Structure 1
């Protein structure tokens, strides 16, 4: 942007990178001319920053899932060990396989 002393006004585009900077200057995207590339650059950069934030969130969630998966494996091993120590091995194996023995009531 350039201050034009002779006309008492500012000419040109503001040097901004985000909508936040525009808001900090108490301005709005609508105040930038539609043909001005600054408008497009601000919006593109805003989209890029949002995509980066989403990518960072996904990375954090992946780390959380890995930790939860490891914890689940530890719990599964603990449960299997407990199952094998409290029941006969053949019964424990059938339970792990999901096969339930049916007892005849007759």
Structure 2
């Protein structure tokens, strides 16, 4: 499978996986916060979206302008748990240079 072979070693593996297994749009995943992720219930709440226009981050509502809850399987739970551990490790190693909030966005810049 392409996703497994080509993307697993990429820093954004979790992003690719969640996109493929939830059907969430790119902008919705870029907006996703850890507070919108319930790993025990295996679901994410999608309420907002983000675009990059002329190099600027532009936040907006979702395409349908509604909040929706999307469920996923145990494999996605495991991928997101690993991603959280890796993100916490990045934050710890980089300290103040880390571009993100540990309780904020699920997917951040390198």
Query: Structure 1 or 2: larger helix share?
Result: 1
Same fold by TM-score greater than 0.5 = no
TM-score (norm 2): 0.28
Query: Structure 1 or 2: larger strand share?
Result: 2
The one of the two structures with greater contact order (alpha-carbon pairs below 8 A, sep at least 6) is 2
Which one has the largest radius of gyration? 1
TM-score (norm 1): 0.29
